[in-house]
Structure 1
Amino acid sequence: MEDDPSVTVEKMPHVLRIGRLEPTLEEELIARYEIAELPDGPARAGFLAERAADFRVVLTSGVSVVDADTIAALPNLEAIVNYGAGVDSIDLEAARHRGIAVSNTPDVLSDSVADTALGLILMTLRRFGAADRYVREGRWATEGRFSYGRDISGLQVGILGLGRIGSAIATRLLGFDCAIAYHNRHQIDGSPYRYAASPLELAESVDVLVVATTGDPKARHLVDRTVLEALGPEGYLINIARGSVVDEDALVELLEGGGLAGAGLDVFADEPNVPVALRNLESVVLFPHIGSATARTRRAMALLSIQNLESYLGTGELVTPVLRPRH
């Protein structure tokens, strides 16, 4: 790109990128801007000592932690632009205390994540992944008919977190004549779906529990052992939210002991490290956190991140704020 005189790259001396950026965002940024990067290791302290006061905006992806110490180290920080819908890797309390604005990339990924949830439901209950392996391993010819799966049509499905993504999941499941129930912190006025007053009440009344809530600290282990046990030996857990929302140890124990029929998981407590016990279970479908991983969606997320960045630098306002700036 440096050899192409038609390409102009604008320097952004007030913007700091933190952590590894998703490749699509990286490509879009490189094409437009020159942005400083916070180094790791021993070089970080020297970098901050020299340049910490330069930066007004941090740009980061959801996998990179922007904790209270990092926020405190940037005395003139005004905004954090996050690539991704989830902001659980950002210390929102520290940001709120300083009056720092935070943005994310909602809406543009809702359909892709909802499609992933539907795929996990189909693969887990109908055992499509196991069926594929059965053919590839030559077992159909030697062992005969593949064992039965579970019908999706007509099931009772609970959605924990009926936000943008949860609502998109519900809409898709209506096509399978599923009865939808949900739990949020507050009941949604005018919702056509049955409301459950707690995650436990929701789990007790459904065949499939889909976790689509936020991954903030308040949601940690919202799906605990009691909730999982309430699903019962015929119940299934689907998680496309964050691994921290589910008590993973309890989930493994119940799956191994027959306390749950199965699980479909796109997220884990310690990504990318997935417990061996989960990897060994045929009743579990495992995805490597690909909920929004389509070319169209990731580019839309990248462009929305850049819009937030440009908007804040130009007007002092974010396009999709999670926390608004304190003026």
Structure 2
Amino acid sequence: MFKILLTHSLPQPGIEKLQQLANLEIPYPDGMGYDAIFEVIESYDGLILTGGVKIDEKLLDKAKNLKLIANYGVGYDSINTVYAKEKGILVTNTPEPVIEPTAEIAFGLMLSLMRKITELDRKLRKTPDFRWDFMQNLGTRLFGKTIGIVGFGNIGKAVARRANAFGMKVIYYSRSKRPEEIEKEFTATFVSFDELLKTADVISLHAPHTNDTFHLIGQKELENMKNSAFLINTSRGPVVDEAALITALEGKEIAGAGLDVYEKEPKVSPKLLEMENVVLTPHIGTTTLESRTDMAISVSESILTFMDGKTPVNVVNS
């Protein structure tokens, strides 16, 4: 029977069918790190990977029987997909279930930051003589503002759809200009990266972490943004130079930042934790019961398809 290592417990409805047709083992329900996976991987045919654990050449060499890595999530930058392919190991991900919840978090950060929701919630709870004066606590409205979306894939488009509903002007930058019908559907205009930085009132990042996107937003890019602009990152932490971001926030070069991901995750800079004009969440872009269940179904379907002698849909290293 096909033997599968699951590195963290998942919602039961998502893996029931897989448990019936394969030998699914969960030795550490609360999560496995690199060393724990390395210790046991040799005997497994399949791996369901959670938590972005690094899968490097050393581990792949140890995985003598491994045929498939089903990554529980859309980002797979922790996996050496090129070497996995050399070893004949397919790698899949789960792009569809993460689209809407990640877009929701991006917009949630945007609203919380620009309308000062979390900042004022904290102050109202902790300040006995908190002022309710009508010219205090002024935020920034979203209506009529320009949102610049970096990366116009499925998540970027889902953010654009929400921006349309809020009456925002949508501009985007991506590796390639989208077809005219897509731009019309999302009322979106393609611009250069430099123009996006200079004109957007809020920038939302939806680019994967690659060598090309490492520190895509650094000192130069932050200096090119409006002093009144906000930065939202729900993609990957290393896409933003965090030290440069902190400097820009301290110097009021930009108005604020909303972050769900961090450069040294799970570590968060103490300076970011101290700032009022920053909204922070602990990488919860896909953290809903519905999306977690759908992601479990997706990895199960990938493995079951592979076991049936067919190629799974979401292979990332074919």
Match status 1:282 vs 2:273: no
Residue 165 of structure 1 pairs with residue 140 of structure 2: no
| 2:196 aligned partner | 202
Counterpart position of 1:34: 24
- Structure 2 residue aligned with 1:270, among 264, 268, 278? 264
SS at match of 1:264: strand
Distance change in 2, residues 1:307/1:278 (3 Å): same
Aligned residues: 305
**Alignment counterpart, residue 255 of structure 2, candidates 251, 261, 282:** 261
**What secondary structure does 1:109 align onto?**
helix
Does residue 21 in structure 1 map to residue 8 in structure 2?
A: yes
Q: How far 1:93 sits from its partner (Å)? A: 2.1
SS at match of 1:21: coil
Q: Which amino acid aligns with 2:261?
A: V
Q: Is residue 63 from structure 1 mapped to residue 52 from structure 2 by the alignment?
A: yes
Distance change >3 Å, CA 46–CA 149, structure 1 → 2: closer
- Matching residue's letter, 2:105: T
Deviations 1:186-235 (A, max 9, x none): 1112232221233x332112111100111234321111221111113111
Correspondence list, 1:129-140, <5 A:
129-139=118-128
* Residue matched to 2:63: 74
Structure 1 residues 42, 118: closer, same or farther in 2, change over 3 A? closer
- Give the aligned residue type for 2:199: S
TM-score normalised over the length of structure 1:
0.85
* Cα deviations by residue, 1:117-162 (Å, 9 ceiling, x for unpaired): 11111111110111211221234x4444342000100111111111
Asked if 1:86 corresponds to 2:75, the answer is: yes
Q: Distance in 2 between matches of 1:293 and 1:44?
A: 24
For 1:295 and 1:237, locate their aligned partners in 2 and report how far apart those are by CA, in whole Å.
27
Write the letter of the residue equivalent to 1:246.
V
Gaps of 5+ in 1: 1-10
Distance 1:126 1:43 in 2: 44
* 1:152 and 2:174 correspond: no
The match for 2:230 among 220, 227, 236 is 236
Unaligned runs of 5+ in 2: none
Alpha-carbon separation, structure 1, partners of 2:237 and 2:35 = 31
| Alpha-carbon distance in 2 for matches of 1:136, 1:300 | 37
C-alpha distance in 2, partners of 1:44/1:66? Answer: 9
TM-score normalised over the length of structure 2: 0.87
What CA distance in whole angstroms lies between the structure 1 residues aligned with 2:122 and 2:173?
Answer: 36
Contact 1:22 1:61 in 2 (8 A): no
Aligned residue number for residue 301 of structure 1: 295
What do the CA deviations read for 1:237-267 (whole angstroms, capped 9, x no partner)? 0001010110001001110111110001111
Matched, 1:95 2:84: yes
Which residue does 1:223 correspond to in 2? Answer: 217
Partner Cα distance (1:45, 1:129) in 2: 41
SS at match of 1:194: strand
Tell me the percent identity.
Answer: 30
Q: Is residue 247 of structure 1 aligned with residue 247 of structure 2?
A: no
Deviates more, 1:168-177 or 1:227-236: 227-236
